[in-house]
A and B are shown apart, each in its own frame.
Chain A
Amino acid sequence: MSAISTASGAVPVILPANDLRASLRRIGAMVRRYVYLLRSSGIRLVELVYWPFLQMLTWGFLQKYLAGTTSTLAQAAGVLIGSVLLWDILFRTKIGFSTTFIEEMWARNLGNLLTSPLRPFELVAALSVWSVIRLGVSMVPVAIAAYFIFGFNLLDLGLALVAFFAVLVLTSWSLGLLSAGVILRYGLGAEEFAWSLAFLLLPLSCVYYPVTALPNWLQPVALALPPTHVFEGMRSILLHGTFNANELWWALGLNAIYLLVGYMAFRWFLQRARINGSLLQLGE
């Protein structure tokens, strides 16, 4: 090792830490970190598009086949592809949120983050913002491909698409918060929980069939889930050209509750992890 440098140094100019701009700066720093991470791996970038693309192809061809054999489904052109694309909005956002959080644990970086001025809500905000950016990277090319391959235009859903998108993203953040909290508390052993949690919604939120297909006793459970209202609404638009906006307000209201519960659960698990000392043992 050579002699010690005696050059005079750049004094850090520290900006105020406790105002809104400071919060936005820290959220921005975290999003930048995730951008760096994605840019560092071309495989990851391809993988983001690969799975939703395969999913869309599979269901698209199935729909095409069924449309040629039954008149009912022939009228319902695009319902399956629409379901797949909307389901992927929910699923990919949730996975984006959870995977990015788990990444910090794989990297053994959480100790650095949680001792920095980064507040828990800022970490959550950064994960949320990033999950939507990641969703855009994966779903925009797939939605365009669905248009060219199957003639399904997601934009045909009109303004309702914006509302559907909001409902699904908010639900995925609630699930992401719950998964992240459980992993914080129980470590990477609970990783499987993060992966499988969204799948619980697949049968219950009636992605591919109407609520009436469920047994009577299960229907209230389905209706208590915000995504159910999105899938019902999508089918209503594509099959009948009508849409009940009240359903969406109901879904947004439910989301507000779930999001609050998700954030509270995350904070509670974080505090439990601080009490149990598990933040010291996190890692691969």
Chain B
Amino acid sequence: MDERVSTLPNAPETIPVAVKNLTKVYGTVTAVGGISFTLEPRTTVALLGGNGAGKTTTIAMLLGLVVPTSGEVQVFGADMSRDRYRVAERLNFQSPYVDLPMRLTVRQNLTVYAGLYGIANVAERIGFLAEDLQLTPLLDRDTGKLSAGQKTRVGLAKALLNAPELLLLDEPTASLDPDTADWIRQKLKEYAHARGATILLASHNMAEVERLADRVILLHAGRILEDEAPRVLIETYGRETLEDVFLDVVRGRSRHAEQRELAPSDARAREIS
């Protein structure tokens, strides 16, 4: 993908994401229950969990879209509840739960967001991303008239406009056919490598997580049940695939089912604080 983005400067090695005792309660429902983790620079980490596990809420708190009930979210050292604009141009996100305006063409949408992210070389950047994500023939079509796969690529183009150091992805390949999904994963991998970017992706897709992630944070009912490299998890549980591990964990056969006190990420978060 974008080879020259590797020449872009990153700020001095600040921890991209540090989450400490993060909790979100809606009425009587605890969506996220006191989780802690950090994302090291240039790593790809997956938030894995079933429906209602707290993945989307966690990402929304990282983005500043949702204010935590308690706990802290720091992105590049900025408290996202109070100071998100200090770092907003260093991150971007894509989610199937938000759309780009359907009546605008792809080029118009990307132009607007290029303006919001303060990009000076708009035409050049859009032209490159369009070429790279195979959107050039679609640039002047209404976004609403595109297929799901095409819209996903447009969403990804928007998310990559500012070559973010931190990319947050909520189910980046949801509703895509296997070929397109595989292509997107490859693009993300290339981007992370070229940019030295940190990626946090929420997914249900175990194969995707195995392929992309250096580390998996397994959420269940708003709590972290595992936080390890995919291969380590598979070996530890003596299973063939990450999906088998996932089923073990969510069905109460977690190795920490009885006595989970402190995940490795908790310790890392404490060190940072």
Contacts and interface: CB of A to CB of B under 8 A. Distances in A.
Interface of A: 1-2, 4-18, 22, 25-26, 28-30, 32-33, 36-37, 40-41, 103-104, 107-119, 271, 274-277, 279-280
A280 B65 contact: yes
8 contacts: A12-B117, A14-B162, A17-B89, A28-B115, A109-B100, A112-B98, A115-B88, A116-B116
Contacts of A12: 5, 8, 114, 117, 119-121, 125, 161-163
Given A9-B5, A25-B115, A109-B98, A275 B67 contact: yes
A115 B62 CA distance: 10
B187 interface: yes
Interface of B: 1-5, 7-8, 24, 26, 31, 56-57, 60, 63-67, 85, 88-89, 91-93, 95, 97-105, 108, 111-121, 124-125, 127-129, 131-132, 134, 142, 158, 161-163, 179-180, 182-183, 186-187, 190
B118 A33 contact: no
Given A9-B2, A108-B98, A279-B60, 4 more contacts: A9-B128, A115-B88, A115-B92, A116-B117
B97 A10 contact: no
Contacts of B131: 5, 7
A10 B97 CA distance: 29
Contacts of A110: 98
Contacts of A11: 2, 4-5, 7-8, 163
Nearest to B122: A12
Contacts of B24: 277
Nearest to B24: A277
Contacts of A111: 65, 95, 97-98
B64 A280 contact: no
Nearest to B177: A1
B26 A277 contact: yes
Nearest to B182: A1
A32 B112 contact: yes
B115 A26 contact: yes
A118 B180 CA distance: 32
A129 to B, nearest CB: 14
Contacts of B120: 12-15
A144 B74 CA distance: 56
B104 A37 contact: yes
A49 to B, nearest CB: 20
Contact of B117 (A8, A30, A117): A117
Contacts of A37: 101, 103-104
A1 B179 contact: yes
A113 B57 CA distance: 18
Contacts of A26: 115-116, 118
Contact of A274 (B7, B67, B88, B142): B67
Contacts of B132: 5, 7, 9
A29 B116 CA distance: 6
B175 to A, nearest CB: 15
A274 B64 contact: yes
Contacts of A8: 2-4
A36 B101 CA distance: 10
A108 B119 contact: no
A14 B3 contact: no
B65 A36 contact: no
